[in-house]
């Protein structure tokens, strides 16, 4: 179940990473730093959604990124939420690390 969220986060992270030389790194770091401190499912998903929405709708960025639909179909609590958060952060971090920069 969590593998799909890891794969989604990795692919989104690669899109962000490949955005522009240097700028994609900064955008991906900003995303990682903004969501890693959130300890509740609602705030985590809100921060993730807000950041991805900004990356998609900002005319200066305009990335083709979106939320995984399954994130809003399940209830995230206790260990399930922590596994979800870990898989998403791992996907983003692996995309950042494989950027070769």
What average pLDDT does this structure show over 70-82?
89
- State pTM to two decimals: 0.91
pLDDT digits (tens, 9 = 90+) for 30-39: 999 999 999 9
Ordered DSSP codes for 9-59: HHHHHHHHHTSSTTHHHHHHHHHHHHHHT--SHHHHHHHHHHHHHHHHH-T
pLDDT value at 21 more than 70: no
């Amino acid at each position: 179940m969590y593998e799909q969220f890891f794969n989604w986060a990795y692919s989104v992270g690669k899109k962000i990473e490949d955005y522009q030389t240097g700028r994609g790194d900064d955008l991906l770091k900003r995303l990682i730093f903004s969501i890693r401190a959130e300890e509740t499912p609602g705030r985590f998903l809100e921060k993730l959604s807000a950041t991805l929405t900004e990356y998609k709708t900002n005319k200066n960025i305009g990335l083709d990124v979106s939320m995984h639909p399954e994130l809003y179909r399940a209830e995230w609590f206790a260990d399930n939420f922590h596994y979800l958060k870990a898989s998403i952060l791992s996907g983003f971090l692996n995309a950042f690390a494989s950027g070769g920069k």
